[in-house]
Chain A
Amino acid sequence: MSSITAATENRSHVSSYPKFIGRSLWLATEGSFAFYAWMTMLTAVFLVGANAWANQVAGGMIGTNMTDQVSWGLYIANFTFMVGLAAGGVMMVIPAYLYHDRKMHDVVIIGELLAIAAIVMCLMFVVADLGRPDRFWHLFPIIGKFNFPISMLTWDVIVLNGYLLLNLHICGYLLYMRFLGREPNPAWYIPFVMVSIVWAISIHTVTAFLYCGLGGRPFWNTALLAPRFLASAFVSGPAFIIVAMVLIKKLAGVGGLDQPIATLTKIIRVTILVNLLMVASELFTEFYTGGSHVSAAKYLFFGLHGKTALVPWTWTAIGLNVTAALLFLWPGLLQFRRRPLLIAACCMAFVGAWIEKGMGLIIPGFVPSTLHEIVEYIPSQLEWKVTVGIWAFGLMIFTIAIKTALPTLKQPADR
């Protein structure tokens, strides 16, 4: 650890920055046997995904189970969820910077690093979903043809990449200052942090606008979609961070995490209820009104004309979400000896949100189709491989990022 702060201050950034990168990489790839085993496992899974994706590109997307009726599937479902996870990290940033929670402030970088890993995964899921990834450059402003501001997808490209850059800058700057052994200059990162708070809200709002702006898809065409997205993001993000923190504390011996964990638990206590309330209000409107608008919801919850592929998914999600909500409401969950239960509650909330925002939101938008055909969708093996591969890659980034930041976490800098 001494080595990371050992650099002299007088050297110019041109020579010290590459050194910082090299040093960080070196540090990030140092570790115990278990660490190497973990990374090897992730690499192997990622390679399986990469191979599946290459086959998809070579053979056409016929290898997926998507159809002209259900034209988006598991990839876009995961993309939507990952945007939420990226935005969820802001639930650490807000207490740390707006409410000056010192303990949260010391470890807030975990949330920012999670945002980086999650956005990278988002971009990978979008690329995996493209029929012509070789034409990716058509999406770049200037050299391509960017349909801005009419297409919501171009907005999404901007906000997601912007959020990635913001977080890369904030984390990179703080870690670099740490490496130089200097005090970070607030002027160089506080304004960016403030922007990133607003930006986090924007990424999920714009992602919701992708769907809710489509008049031909009644299931998505609701003003409640963006608020719902945010509420569930503020469940899944903190839930992931709590589990990550418990692991970091256990595996790397980082202290000072208990209070942030408690704060995040209290945040979930509120957001999980807000989310359930919005789901309930959505369902009331659908089912009480009836008519053709309800058919997608009917399909999702009970099946339509004997087609019931999504019913088990959705009831699993409801079961998980409600159980998690009850657990979070119980004050005893915060007790230290109930940590395993807290982790279980977080996992339930996380998986619940994943289903609710993925299979439970993207797929019923397409069933029944706009001509009221009922074509069902269950992801193919290839889609699962690619998806799990991208998750493995995301976890790799997150692990390496956390390892790089460990010295900062162990000796909380005075920032």
Chain B
Amino acid sequence: MTTTESGSSDPDQRNRSLPVIENFSRRAAVKGAFATLGAGAFVAAVSPLRQASKNSSAAEFLQTHYTELSPEQKEGVLARLEAEAKEEYDADVTIADDRPIPGTKFVYAINLSVCNGNGKCVEACHKENNHDRDTNQSYIRVLEMPKGTLDMEQGTTSYSGVVPKGDKFYLPVQCQQCDEPPCVDVCPVKATWKEEDGIVVVDYNWCIGCRYCEAACPYHARRFNWKKPEVPADEVNPDQSYLSNRIRPTGVVEKCTYCLHRTRRGRLPACLEACPTGARVFGNILDPSSNIRWILENKRVYILKEELGTKPAFFYYFD
């Protein structure tokens, strides 16, 4: 078969100096009808979008980047988010805007000789940070490692049975709050950044959900909201902050924030408080009298994947 040219199917047409108007308009009408039909079918095909747009307001759509919000705008945003939590989760929450305390740089350390892999930190994180109940999400993963190696390839995150096992040690991994965070570098829209106290945060209302940061992170610290988080009203932690544990929107990335809604108010991270063995130590490294400072100065500490040059603010040691 051959593809025909304009009008060449009608031999008369080519010989005339003017196009045949009736034929032209008839074909135009047919094409117009097809185009309309196609457009209509397209509108029908993407109709689920209307459902999606119902869940997001114009104010949310137009909201600017966190760092560019004026104090009044910020207030409006926080009030809107609180109202949303009420509407969608039937929970009365307060969403604060906790800022870094000057002269603070938070650092974490875990004593691997003491950690026994009971996973209480994983659970505490799950509750504290309003994680999706369905997927049992948490920012912490614990690897069960055979003694005699630090090679994570030998470990497993899906261990079960009574812990601790004699020939194993346990390695909890969460966001390392790197000083050279690859996840921050790769973000195309600056939706994630490092704050003055060392905490890497995400503006959940600016993230476009490309998941480039998730690919860039060497510690599997980031999580994506594949679906709307489900938290029953009575289980919602109402004590929230904009940059940390407020219930996240669908389709954005989230991560451990060293519980900044607690730590910036002088409390300890939830995972530390929940740990029954006392393996976890947290504090301000700039404070010479802090516990964490003593540990870093006196213990032989190591960091994960040092060769990548990410400079974690998270340390491990054995007694």
Contact residues of A with B, CB < 8 Å? 1-4, 26-27, 29-32, 34-35, 43, 47-48, 50-51, 53-55, 57-62, 64, 66-69, 71-72, 126, 129-136, 138-139, 144-147, 150-154, 157, 210, 214-217, 251-253, 292, 295, 365-366, 368-373, 403, 406-407
Question: Are A3 and B19 neighbours in the complex by a CB distance under 8 Å?
Answer: yes
B164-208 interface bits toward A, Cβ cutoff 8 Å, 1 = contact, 0 = none: 000000000100000000100111111100000000000000111
Interface positions, chain B 205-223, Cβ under 8 Å from A, are 206-212, 214-220, 222-223
Q: How large is the interface on B (under 10, 10 to 19, 20 to 34, 35 or more residues)?
A: 35 or more
Partner of A62, one of B3, B51, B226, B253: B226
Question: Are B216 and A216 neighbours in the complex by a CB distance under 8 Å?
Answer: yes
Q: What are 19 A-B pairs at a CB distance below 8 A? A: A2-B14, A3-B6, A27-B6, A32-B2, A34-B3, A47-B42, A51-B46, A51-B48, A53-B46, A60-B227, A62-B226, A67-B226, A68-B223, A131-B208, A131-B224, A138-B189, A151-B186, A153-B212, A251-B3
Q: How far is the CA of A216 from the CA of B188 in the complex (A)?
A: 18
Question: Are A1 and B5 neighbours in the complex by a CB distance under 8 Å?
Answer: yes
Q: How far is the CA of A60 from the CA of B132 in the complex (A)?
A: 14
Interface positions, chain B 5-21, Cβ under 8 Å from A, are 5-8, 14, 19
Smallest beta-carbon distance B99→chain A, Å: 20
Partner of B153, one of A55, A62, A295: A295
Question: Are A30 and B51 neighbours in the complex by a CB distance under 8 Å?
Answer: no
Question: Are A252 and B308 neighbours in the complex by a CB distance under 8 Å?
Answer: no
Given the contacts A61-B226, A292-B153, A34 and B45 also touching, CB distance less than 8 Å: no
Question: Are B309 and A215 neighbours in the complex by a CB distance under 8 Å?
Answer: yes
Given the contacts A35-B3, A251-B3, A292-B153, A371 and B143 also touching, CB distance less than 8 Å: yes
B47 interface hit (Cβ, 8 Å) = yes
Question: Are B188 and A153 neighbours in the complex by a CB distance under 8 Å?
Answer: yes
Q: How far is the CA of A47 from the CA of B210 in the complex (A)?
A: 24
Smallest beta-carbon distance B166→chain A, Å: 22
Given the contacts A32-B2, A251-B2, A403-B3, A61 and B251 also touching, CB distance less than 8 Å: yes
Question: Are B152 and A135 neighbours in the complex by a CB distance under 8 Å?
Answer: no
B65-91 interface bits toward A, Cβ cutoff 8 Å, 1 = contact, 0 = none: 100000000000000000000000000
Partner of A1, one of B6, B45, B191, B253: B6
B151 interface hit (Cβ, 8 Å) = yes
Closest to A251 in B: B3
Partner of B220, one of A68, A129, A130: A68
Q: How far is the CA of A157 from the CA of B216 in the complex (A)?
A: 18
Smallest beta-carbon distance A387→chain B, Å: 16
Question: Are B189 and A371 neighbours in the complex by a CB distance under 8 Å?
Answer: no
Question: Are A132 and B251 neighbours in the complex by a CB distance under 8 Å?
Answer: yes
Smallest beta-carbon distance A204→chain B, Å: 18
Question: Are B208 and A145 neighbours in the complex by a CB distance under 8 Å?
Answer: no
Contact residues of B with A, CB < 8 Å? 1-8, 14, 19, 27, 31, 38, 41-42, 45-49, 51-53, 56, 61, 65, 141, 143, 151-153, 155, 157-158, 173, 182, 185-191, 206-212, 214-220, 222-228, 249-253, 305, 308-310
Q: How far is the CA of A164 from the CA of B209 in the complex (A)?
A: 24
Question: Are B215 and A71 neighbours in the complex by a CB distance under 8 Å?
Answer: yes
Q: How far is the CA of A28 from the CA of B22 in the complex (A)?
A: 20
Partner of B49, one of A31, A54, A68, A368: A54
Question: Are A144 and B189 neighbours in the complex by a CB distance under 8 Å?
Answer: yes
User: Could you say which residues of chain B place their CB within 8 Å of the CB of A214?
Assistant: 182, 186, 215-216
Q: How far is the CA of A373 from the CA of B220 in the complex (A)?
A: 10
Smallest beta-carbon distance B231→chain A, Å: 15
Question: Are B182 and A131 neighbours in the complex by a CB distance under 8 Å?
Answer: no
Smallest beta-carbon distance A411→chain B, Å: 12
Smallest beta-carbon distance A302→chain B, Å: 16
Smallest beta-carbon distance A139→chain B, Å: 6
User: Could you say which residues of chain B place their CB within 8 Å of the CB of A138?
Assistant: 65, 189, 191, 206, 208
Question: Are A71 and B155 neighbours in the complex by a CB distance under 8 Å?
Answer: no
- Per CB-CB distance, the 8 closest pairs between chain A and chain B, nearest first, are A131-B209, A216-B218, A131-B251, A153-B188, A60-B227, A62-B227, A51-B45, A58-B48
Closest to A35 in B: B3
Q: How far is the CA of A129 from the CA of B47 in the complex (A)?
A: 19
Q: How far is the CA of A214 from the CA of B186 in the complex (A)?
A: 9
Question: Are A68 and B251 neighbours in the complex by a CB distance under 8 Å?
Answer: no
Question: Are B182 and A216 neighbours in the complex by a CB distance under 8 Å?
Answer: yes
Partner of A50, one of B46, B208, B215: B46
Q: How far is the CA of A30 from the CA of B249 in the complex (A)?
A: 47
Closest to B155 in A: A372
Q: Which of B5, B141, B214, B220 counts the most chain A CB atoms within 10 A?
A: B5
Q: How far is the CA of A57 from the CA of B226 in the complex (A)?
A: 10
Given the contacts A54-B46, A215-B309, A217-B215, A145 and B190 also touching, CB distance less than 8 Å: yes
Question: Are B220 and A69 neighbours in the complex by a CB distance under 8 Å?
Answer: yes
User: Could you say which residues of chain A place their CB within 8 Å of the CB of B143?
Assistant: 371
Smallest beta-carbon distance B119→chain A, Å: 15
User: Could you say which residues of chain B place their CB within 8 Å of the CB of A371?
Assistant: 141, 143, 152, 155, 157, 173, 219-220
Q: How far is the CA of A253 from the CA of B3 in the complex (A)?
A: 8
Question: Are A30 and B226 neighbours in the complex by a CB distance under 8 Å?
Answer: no
Q: Which of B38, B48, B253 counts the most chain A CB atoms within 10 A?
A: B48
Smallest beta-carbon distance A403→chain B, Å: 7
Q: Which of A133, A139, A151 counts the most chain B CB atoms within 10 A?
A: A151
Partner of B308, one of A1, A4, A147, A215: A215
User: Could you say which residues of chain A place their CB within 8 Å of the CB of B223?
Assistant: 68
Question: Are B48 and A132 neighbours in the complex by a CB distance under 8 Å?
Answer: no
Q: Which of A48, A59, A139, A370 counts the most chain B CB atoms within 10 A?
A: A370
Smallest beta-carbon distance B209→chain A, Å: 2
Closest to B31 in A: A29
Q: How far is the CA of A5 from the CA of B240 in the complex (A)?
A: 68
Q: How far is the CA of A251 from the CA of B220 in the complex (A)?
A: 52
Smallest beta-carbon distance B240→chain A, Å: 21
Question: Are B187 and A151 neighbours in the complex by a CB distance under 8 Å?
Answer: yes
Question: Are B188 and A139 neighbours in the complex by a CB distance under 8 Å?
Answer: yes
Smallest beta-carbon distance B38→chain A, Å: 6
Q: How far is the CA of A105 from the CA of B60 in the complex (A)?
A: 51
Given the contacts A3-B19, A57-B48, A134-B61, A147 and B6 also touching, CB distance less than 8 Å: no
Partner of A251, one of B1, B157, B190: B1
Partner of B211, one of A3, A27, A131, A135: A131
Closest to B137 in A: A68
User: Could you say which residues of chain B place their CB within 8 Å of the CB of A292?
Assistant: 151, 153
Smallest beta-carbon distance B31→chain A, Å: 6
Q: Which of A253, A365, A371 counts the most chain B CB atoms within 10 A?
A: A371
